[in-house]
């Protein structure tokens, strides 16, 4: 770890972290040296971006290829009315810069695909120094979820997964540093296209992604600090209508196609992510 000392302004900004035994100056330095790539600057990505920036995560990448629409503002709180029509990554990056000058925010106005993910995450070339410590999957489609999972699993990069639907959400964490499960251990294959409607069709409670995204941000901060117990091997499910949480234990599946004993997926190029997210036949 480099000798990164907290100056007077940082000591004031992060004082409520510094006085905690579980964080302290050393933990805050870990956050300032940490790097996180947030995939999606929408409902889930908004609170993740806000709280990671506030916590002082030193390098924060934001990936999204969409523009802000007025219908987003009911839940995507990193954007404002004046941002309608702007790229989401620009709006979100401006928010981060205004909130915390310690954060090196990098906006990537692109879509995460099998062709772009390595350049975005930077996890497969050991000589590269600009890779990210954690990827936060705040996406809204199965293709991106499976791609992020497969890439991070194969590269040994920690992954935070979150998803929402109407009044319900789920969160889990995959450190990818041992024998824990991956996303495919829980959900081996994506549903057939068109069988799961999106929020534009069914709606979503505006505050729901705030709760789920905050939990994702909490998990990322704990991971960077090396403190607490992560949701590894546990899927946390939240029901906003009943205001209830349920935790389901999940284990690594020895038959998992990406992290199992005899994996079928050895490269992200083995999979057709725009289809059913299954192993390619060719």
Residue 66 lies in a domain: yes
- Provide the pLDDT for residue 2: 46
- Provide the pLDDT for residue 130: 72
- Provide the pLDDT for residue 277: 47
Q: Is the pTM of this model over 0.85?
A: yes
Per the structure block, which two tokens stand in for 268? 């992200």
Domain range enclosing 237 = 14-253
Residue 1 lies in a domain: no
- Provide the pLDDT for residue 149: 97
Do you know the residue count of the chain? 282
Residue 6 lies in a domain: no
At 15-46, the pLDDT tens digits run 999 999 999 999 999 999 999 999 999 999 99
Residue 3 lies in a domain: no
Q: For residue 205, what are the contacts with CB-CB under 8 A and spacing of at least 6?
A: 166, 167, 240
Q: How many domains would you assign to the chain?
A: 1
Residue 9 lies in a domain: no
Q: Known catalytic residue: 277? A: no
Q: What is the DSSP letter of 204?
A: B
Supply the CATH number for residue 40's domain. 3.40.50.720
Residue 188 lies in a domain: yes
- Pick out the chain residues at pLDDT < 70: 1-4, 123-129, 193-199, 275-282
Of these residues, 148, 199, 256, 259, which one is catalytic? 199
Long-range contacts from 173-176, C-beta under 8 angstroms, 24+ separation: 173/219, 173/223, 173/230, 173/231, 173/232, 174/149, 174/232, 175/223, 175/230, 175/232, 176/152
Mark out the alpha helices in the chain (DSSP H runs).
Answer: 8-13, 15-18, 24-33, 45-55, 88-99, 117-121, 142-155, 183-186, 199-202, 208-225
Residue 267 lies in a domain: no
- Provide the pLDDT for residue 123: 54
Residue 4 lies in a domain: no
């Amino acid at each position: 770890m480099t000798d990164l000392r907290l100056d007077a302004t940082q000591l004031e900004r992060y004082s409520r972290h510094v006085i905690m035994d579980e964080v302290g100056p050393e933990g805050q330095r870990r956050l300032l040296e940490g790097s996180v790539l947030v995939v999606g600057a929408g409902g889930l990505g908004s609170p993740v971006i806000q709280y990671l920036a506030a916590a002082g995560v030193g390098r924060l990448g934001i990936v999204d290829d969409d523009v802000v629409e007025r219908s987003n503002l009911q839940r995507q709180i990193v954007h404002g009315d004046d941002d309608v029509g702007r790229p989401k990554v620009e709006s979100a990056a401006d928010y981060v810069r205004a909130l915390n000058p310690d954060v090196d925010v990098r906006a990537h106005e692109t879509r995460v695909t099998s062709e772009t993910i390595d350049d975005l995450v930077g996890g497969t070339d050991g000589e590269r120094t600009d890779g990210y410590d954690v990827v936060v999957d705040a996406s809204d489609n199965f293709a991106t979820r499976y791609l992020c999972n497969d890439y991070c699993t194969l590269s040994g990069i920690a992954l935070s997964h979150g998803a929402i639907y109407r009044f319900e959400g789920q969160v889990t964490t995959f450190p990818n540093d041992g024998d824990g499960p991956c996303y495919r251990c829980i959900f081996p294959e994506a549903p057939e296209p068109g069988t799961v409607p999106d929020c534009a069709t069914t709606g979503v409670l505006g505050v729901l992604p705030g709760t789920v995204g905050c939990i994702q941000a909490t998990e990322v901060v704990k991971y960077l600090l090396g403190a607490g117990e992560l949701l590894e091997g546990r899927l946390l499910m939240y029901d906003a209508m009943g205001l209830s949480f349920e935790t389901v234990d999940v284990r690594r599946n020895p038959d998992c196609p990406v992290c199992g004993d005899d994996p079928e997926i050895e490269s992200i190029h083995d999979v057709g992510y725009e289809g059913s997210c299954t192993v390619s036949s060719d």
